[in-house]
Structure 1
């Protein structure tokens, strides 16, 4: 088989628009933005051991003022509409309400667990966001922690250089010092190595790109030479955490690789991470996470399963799920 033919089998059609994914994102955003009677949205149907909606109300900033060029969310975080122009264009100068049941980015379950981690921190809040995109959870939890008087360390890992540029701009716009922000250009993984990551034009346009692991040296060279992909370092969780003794929140949203990452880093997680917030991309992944984390004593504090579209040959995930876990070894 010709080398480029083998590459075509390995790599999804990167240069084509991800029409199906875009349609699902539009359906999710429509659900979040429509006005519905209380309880009628599927995003209201989560399970929690704490009052998630009260958590959002408790952290909502008061007396917010609009910014002429950005959206201001309920925490006071400034968001540039260019990070998702299909949804956010034209909303400059607006102030978003508390996202119950959701906003354009996340639902109440995910927001509540992220803020719960902020409340459990002492002195300094340290967050690691794997697949950080524009730095959503770094910025949101960082701003909430700063309002509580905590010092912050914001750490992100991202494969797309366009998204990294957005993240750097967002942390600067939200008033974080360069010394408090660390963004790695690479792929979060259970082990070190190299992975392929699709190259997109323009940079930052697609939010659902998936890394390709376990390619051979020849396949990596072919993909880079063709311009379809970049070869990026696979960064182990141990490398990302470094010498830090405690991470207050690890946010994981790596497009289907969540279960493998957790399985390969359980000891490190239990030793160093206080809370886990995981975006899940299938019911199978959710089951694997239950099995792995419960077996070593982690406590599930909030969850909303992935929402499916059924009736075709196979169920399709239309809205990713959320799981929030507490580590009793660090937070009894």
Structure 2
């Protein structure tokens, strides 16, 4: 169920637009944070009763999701051909930390018979594939969009979907062609080979090695150095906007954004769109400035920050950006107070 903007949201907007100064309130009274003791009960709700075979090449996790380990050069290769019942607390050792799994699990709880997930900066689309697979298991009609700019990694996303018995299609072309193709009916998962940006344009993206998941777009038409200070050849890539990705009447249950430090370029111009369309927002963070700006802009629009793990950095030497110093990505998970159909575990009992 979707609710209209609250007085708090309107006050914050008026203040930013030069209205009379008012006391801006942060956060909301609807949701409660995820405390450590709640993590396991949330994750247990999506535990698989039966698991698919590992076939000697997959890691099958507690939720029954198969991951082709050889496709992920950084993953411990001894995980191939194994099945685990262990929850990913604090981490699973190859995909992510508990915070992102909690966000996925919470997003599956809604009052509809459908589910929708969008993953931006998707890599091999772990969250789209897991979300669609688990929603289907729960009897819902599920769709997902994975946006990945790199051709090889977009192929990984297609493979990961197939490995979990999900249909997928790849959408390519310029920005206009991509937008038009996304209007067409699709199967379970659509992999968009493009960069997510605040406008339809052409950006630059580095040619990466297989094991480098740290690529980020550049607006420099003559780009030769990335945000870490590393030199790469760059290619032109098309963009797709959140307006296109979130189009339609159905809410997006989970929007997952991981853009190697460019998160604010996509989120801040689309704050109202995201507030209208997205139930849960998970952001991979890559510097403290991004983390603080997200808190500043989202909390005063009555989002709740349910969980976070700040990124870590070592400020050694000289880098062209703050993100270049980051050694471990962070995570932030937000819940939207405009949607009241959340899991009771994150709703304040009155």
The TM-score, its normalising length taken from structure 2, stands at 0.73
Q: Give the structure, 1 or 2, with the largest relative contact order (CA under 8 Å, sep 6 or more).
A: 2
Alpha-carbon shift at residue 236 of structure 1 (Å): 1.1
1:206 equivalent to 2:206? Answer: no
Deviations 1:32-71, CA, capped at 9 Å, x for gaps: xxxxxxxxxxxxxxx6258122111221113435412211
SS at match of 1:290: helix
Alpha-carbon shift at residue 308 of structure 1 (Å): 4.1
The TM-score, its normalising length taken from structure 1, stands at 0.77
Deviates more, 1:232-241 or 1:48-57: 48-57
Point out where structure 2 has 5 or more consecutive residues left out of the alignment: 1-32, 169-186, 224-231, 342-350
Residues 29-178 of structure 1: pairs in structure 2 closer than 5 A: 48=34, 51-68=38-55, 69-96=57-84, 97-103=86-92, 104-120=94-110, 122-178=112-168
SS at match of 1:299: strand
RMSD across aligned positions (CA): 2.7
C-alpha distance 161-119 of structure 1, shift in aligned 2 (>3 A): same
Alpha-carbon shift at residue 136 of structure 1 (Å): 0.6
Alpha-carbon shift at residue 240 of structure 1 (Å): 1.7
C-alpha distance 241-162 of structure 1, shift in aligned 2 (>3 A): same
C-alpha distance 191-90 of structure 1, shift in aligned 2 (>3 A): same
Separation (CA, whole Å) in 2 of partners of 1:65 and 1:157:
27
Between Structure 1 and Structure 2, how many residues are aligned?
278
Separation (CA, whole Å) in 2 of partners of 1:262 and 1:290:
12
Separation (CA, whole Å) in 1 of partners of 2:65 and 2:97:
16
Find the counterpart in structure 1 of residue 242 from structure 2: 237
SS at match of 1:132: coil
Residues 268-287 of structure 1: pairs in structure 2 closer than 5 A: 268-287=273-292
Structure number having the greater helix percentage: 1
Deviations 1:156-198, CA, capped at 9 Å, x for gaps: 1111111011100111111112312111111111222111111
C-alpha distance 177-244 of structure 1, shift in aligned 2 (>3 A): farther
**Preserved contact between residue 66 and residue 94 of structure 1 (Cα < 8 Å):** no
C-alpha distance 325-198 of structure 1, shift in aligned 2 (>3 A): same
Deviates more, 1:314-323 or 1:140-149: 314-323
Separation (CA, whole Å) in 1 of partners of 2:248 and 2:294:
26
Separation (CA, whole Å) in 1 of partners of 2:75 and 2:250:
39
Find the counterpart in structure 2 of residue 327 from structure 1: 336
**Preserved contact between residue 192 and residue 236 of structure 1 (Cα < 8 Å):** yes
Residues 297-312 of structure 1: pairs in structure 2 closer than 5 A: 297-309=302-314
1:191 equivalent to 2:202? Answer: no
Separation (CA, whole Å) in 1 of partners of 2:88 and 2:118:
23
Separation (CA, whole Å) in 2 of partners of 1:290 and 1:138:
25
Deviations 1:236-269, CA, capped at 9 Å, x for gaps: 1012222243111100001011122211110110
